[in-house]
Structure formats: structure tokens, C-alpha cells
Amino acid sequence: MRIIKKIRPSTIIIILIASCIFLLTRCIGDSGNSEEKATARDEFKKYTGSKVCASCHKDIYDKHILTEHYLTLAPPTEKNILGSFEKGKNVFAFDDVTNITMEKRDSGFFQVEYNNGNEIRKGRFDMVVGSGRKGQSYLTWVNNRLVQLPITYFSPAAQWSNSPGYPPNKIVFNRPITSRCLECHSTYFEKISDPAIELEQFDHHKIIYAVDCEKCHGPGAMHVDFQSKNPGIKEAKFIVNPRKLTREQVLDLCTLCHGGGQLAKIKPSFQFHAGDSLSKYFIRNKAALNASNIDVHGNQMGLLSLSKCFIMSNMTCINCHNTHQNENGKVALFSQRCMTCHTEGHVKLCKMTAEIGPAITQNCIDCHMPKQPSHAVSVFLQGSPAPTPALMRTHFIKIYPEETKKVLAYLKGPIKKKL
């Protein structure tokens, strides 16, 4: 199986943005270098990690550890690496003589390059990125830098594959992982390299993996300290509850990672805390957005903001998502949330209400937020002439006549089914 990726305009934009970021971080580096380093050093102490939160918020913690946010970055274990290490299933061949074999050795899990049966080089799995809903990539430490390993696991096909964006016939072992990648998949990494150094370096020990409690609530050390010393006080002072933030603040929090590539970084965004304004960290290029160029992958905010629901109400992501819980595929539950607004005497009802009948309450989603192919996450499978895209829900909520036909045909088909 090969992953082939054409250079598309968005890639060029990303490269442009990346070079701007580089230049801008150099500017920042020139002006406030030592001050920034001091802030960075103090920053890690403000965090506790979610295990500490569990001592007082056990119910939330127990559900949180099953979410994709919590599972999106972790040290490797036999269980969380989804691809197989079994003989016969552990090889990705580039040609007749060159392959990468996934091997479990005494010192860990490895991707090993072989040529004509001779070991050429290898990389250890040091971190797993991705819950595996669509796939996982793997990172390895090279001194204090992180690089991505050549082979990725593509979940829709349940196979090892060449990492997305990699040339189909060349093995790449040294693609650097930047803080931008980590900012979306973790809560905190401490950068130890000078801002002027292009290849960023990180502290191996000052890491808060995945999208943990403190990414959405702000660093928690002061809150924990205060509540532990004052068990009689039942009101929190030093922690952010997104429910109490403004609409803009909640949207900024989710957009930090769900706002796609239209964000150009102007300040190290690991310093972004829940409640902050995104515009202090990024320049948003809103003009570049329209329905035809926003991919369903990674830019839920861009798509939602085109929808009438969003434009004509105070909606935020948390009208529909309870982020403490893994609610994947619970279409009826999500439909209940549509009906918190779309009820008699409140916001307009569906025009199809009479035609569909009571079953409508079970599924607004397949007609108005259909699954669409992602252009960004698309791979060539072995023997297939066309690329296989990952399918994702669009957040452009509107009327899709073709989807309606499909859903109605299914409903009224030879064997009448329930929605």
C-alpha cells in the first residue's frame, strides 16, 4: 500500500505559513529571548497532570481517559500500537528488496529498514500520535529532537502504510516534529532550544501527554493546592470552567486545534491557556476560507462558522459536544442536542418532519451533517487505482438533497428500516 500525496495549494500555504512562523519566531527571539525562556521554565510547574485531578473529580477522570483527546498522544505499549508485529503482518515493502519491518526487541518496539535482508537503520517507537480512529503516526527521539517514523497505521484499511505526505518510493526517517504538531496533540512540552534554532528541541521529562484536563481548564497546580488546603471551601477560584467563558473564548479554545491551517503562529502557543484570546497567538486568515477549500479533517470551526445554525444563534462546540465523554457514533444523542434549539415554538423545525414521522428524532445527522471524504487524509491501497479517503462528518450544517435521497431510500426501501 502506498500513500501518495500531490502537492496541493494548501500544502504551499502551509509551507508559506511555516516560513512566516520561522521568521516571526526569530523576531520574537531577538526581542524577548531571555524573558521567554524564564516564562517557559516556570510554566511546567503550573501543571499537575490528570492523575492528580482524579483524586477529587474521579467521575470525570474515569470517563475522560476513554476519550480520543486523552488517547491522542502516549508512550507506546503493546496495546496502544494498533498495527501488528506478527510475522507476515509486520512488513511494509517499498519494492522487492527494500522494506520496513515492525519488530519488538528487548529495548522496545522498532521500525527497521532492510535491504536484501540486511539491516540498514532503525527507529524506536517513542510516542504514539492518534487515538487510532483514523490512524496513528509514531515519533522517535533523536537526542532532544523528535522525528516522525516512516510507517503509519491507517485504521480504515487496518494496515501499516507509508506516512501521509511521504514520497511513495523513498524511506524518510528524519522528518522533524515541530511544536505546532505537539500543540494540537498534547497539553504541554517544554521547548529547550533557542527560538533562532530551526529544528526545535524538547525536554524529555517536562511533558503532559495528550489533550488532558489542563488543556481545557488551564494549568491546575494552584487550584489543587488551594482546594487541598481549604477542604471546607466548595467554590473553585484558580481554575477555568469553559461554561463560564464568553462564546468567543470557548470557540478560541477549541479552534486552537480544530481551526485548520488558516492560523499563522506569532507567539509560542503552549502559553495559550483556556480563556485566552487566540489572536494573541495567531493571525487568522479568514478571507481564505470558503466551503470548497475547507477539508473535513482538522477544521470543524471553519465549516461550522459557515452554517446558519452558527450564524443565527450563540452556538459553540459545547452545545453539541460533552467533551468529558466518548460519544462517538451516538447519532440519536447528537440529534437530541439539535432539538434543544429546533423545537416547536423556538427555532424552525425540519420541513421533512411530517414526511419522516417520529423516526426523525433519532437522526438529524445523516441528512444535515453527512460523512464526507477528506482530501488531506487519503491513501492509495495496494491494488487500488483510486485513493481511499478517510470519511469524516462535515460541520457545514445545511440541506444536502443527495444525502436526503439516500436516507429516504434506505428508510422506505424494500425492507423498511428504522432510522
**With CB under 6 A as the contact rule, which of the stretches 111-119, 188-196, 278-286, 352-360 interacts with ligand HEC?**
352-360
Pick from 300, 370, 380, 389 the residue near ligand HEC by CB under 6 A: 300
**With CB under 6 A as the contact rule, which of the stretches 10-18, 35-43, 97-105, 357-365 interacts with ligand HEC?**
357-365
The grid coordinates listed for 118 are: 540486511
CB atoms within 10 A of CB 371: 14
The CA distance from 33 to 35, in Å, is: 6
Shortest distance in whole angstroms from residue 200 CB to ligand HEC: 12
Distances in whole angstroms, Cα of residue 100 to Cα of each of 113, 116, 171, 214: 4, 11, 9, 38
Region 15-44 residues binding ligand HEC, contact defined as CB under 6 A: none
Pick from 21, 52, 147, 294 the residue near ligand HEC by CB under 6 A: 52
**Residue 417 engages ligand HEC in binding (rule: CB under 6 A):** no
Residue number, 32 or 156, with CB nearest to ligand HEC: 156
**Residue 319 engages ligand HEC in binding (rule: CB under 6 A):** yes
Region 235-254 residues binding ligand HEC, contact defined as CB under 6 A: 235-236, 239, 241-244, 253-254
Shortest distance in whole angstroms from residue 3 CB to ligand HEC: 12
**Residue 273 engages ligand HEC in binding (rule: CB under 6 A):** no
Shortest distance in whole angstroms from residue 37 CB to ligand HEC: 23
Binding mask 389-408 for ligand HEC (x = CB under 6 A): ---xx-x-xxx----x--xx
**Residue 224 engages ligand HEC in binding (rule: CB under 6 A):** yes
Region 94-153 residues binding ligand HEC, contact defined as CB under 6 A: 129-137, 148
Shortest distance in whole angstroms from residue 119 CB to ligand HEC: 25
**Residue 227 engages ligand HEC in binding (rule: CB under 6 A):** yes
Task: Pick the closest to residue 284 from 256, 264, 298, 305 (CA basis).
Answer: 264
Pick from 1, 147, 365, 379 the residue near ligand HEC by CB under 6 A: 365
The CA distance from 252 to 322, in Å, is: 17
**With CB under 6 A as the contact rule, which of the stretches 19-27, 99-107, 196-204, 364-372 interacts with ligand HEC?**
364-372
**Residue 269 engages ligand HEC in binding (rule: CB under 6 A):** no
The CA distance from 128 to 132, in Å, is: 9
HSE, CB side, 13 Å, CA atoms: give it for residue 319. 16
Residue number, 171 or 239, with CB nearest to ligand HEC: 239
The CA distance from 148 to 124, in Å, is: 10
**Residue 318 engages ligand HEC in binding (rule: CB under 6 A):** yes
Residue number, 191 or 395, with CB nearest to ligand HEC: 395
**Residue 69 engages ligand HEC in binding (rule: CB under 6 A):** yes
**Residue 265 engages ligand HEC in binding (rule: CB under 6 A):** no
Residue number, 99 or 255, with CB nearest to ligand HEC: 255
Pick from 90, 161, 363, 378 the residue near ligand HEC by CB under 6 A: 363
**Residue 301 engages ligand HEC in binding (rule: CB under 6 A):** yes
Region 325-344 residues binding ligand HEC, contact defined as CB under 6 A: 326-329, 331, 334-335, 337-342
Shortest distance in whole angstroms from residue 313 CB to ligand HEC: 4
Shortest distance in whole angstroms from residue 104 CB to ligand HEC: 21
Distances in whole angstroms, Cα of residue 145 to Cα of each of 26, 77, 334: 19, 21, 41
Pick from 98, 350, 381, 387 the residue near ligand HEC by CB under 6 A: 350
Pick from 3, 81, 207, 315 the residue near ligand HEC by CB under 6 A: 315
177 within 8 A of 147, measured Cβ to Cβ: yes
